[in-house]
Amino acid sequence: MSFDWKEYLYLALFLQGYGGSSFNQEAGFRCSVSRAYYAAFCHARNYARNNRSFIPTYKSVDHRRVREHFQNLGMTEISSKLDDLRVWRNSCDYDDSVSNISFLVSSAIAGSQEIIGKLI
């Protein structure tokens, strides 16, 4: 059975509201942004593969190629939102300090929901 990438969005929503003794709120927020990106990216990749003649490599180059594919189809809003999500995910995964992380988490979840909602 194939993994339903929207499950990462549900996890992101859970992590947004969780700050427990196992990990602090920032760790949950960072993971939430990352999972929101992967929910949207993988859903968009599979949608493009199944409906828009995209041939994925299943390698890191697909992060750029999926955005370019939607851009070339005239679906610039999808491409732009995926790029925003990617930038935020990179920041949360690699930077020692992330400004406005609570805003990023809300924006990442909203962006992921919008992408998934448009690509059903």
**The pLDDT value given to residue 19:** 63
User: What is the CA 47 to chain-centroid distance, rounded?
Assistant: 14
Q: Can you tell me the distance from the alpha carbon of 96 to that of 25, in angstroms, rounded to the nearest whole number?
A: 15
Cβ neighbours, 10 Å, residue 20: 8
Residues 6 or more apart whose Cβ sits within 8 Å of residue 58:
none
Structural domains in the chain, sorted by start = 6-118 (1.20.120)
Backbone CA torsion sign across 64, 70, 71, 73: positive
Instruction: Give the length of the chain.
Output: 120
Nearest C-alpha neighbor of 98 from the set 83, 88, 112: 88
Counting other chains too, the contacts that 66-74 makes at CB distance below 8 Å and 24 or more residues apart are 66/41, 70/44
Residues 6-62: tens digit of each pLDDT: 999 999 999 888 766 677 889 999 999 999 999 999 999 999 999 999 999 999 999
Does the predicted model carry a pTM greater than 0.85?
Answer: yes
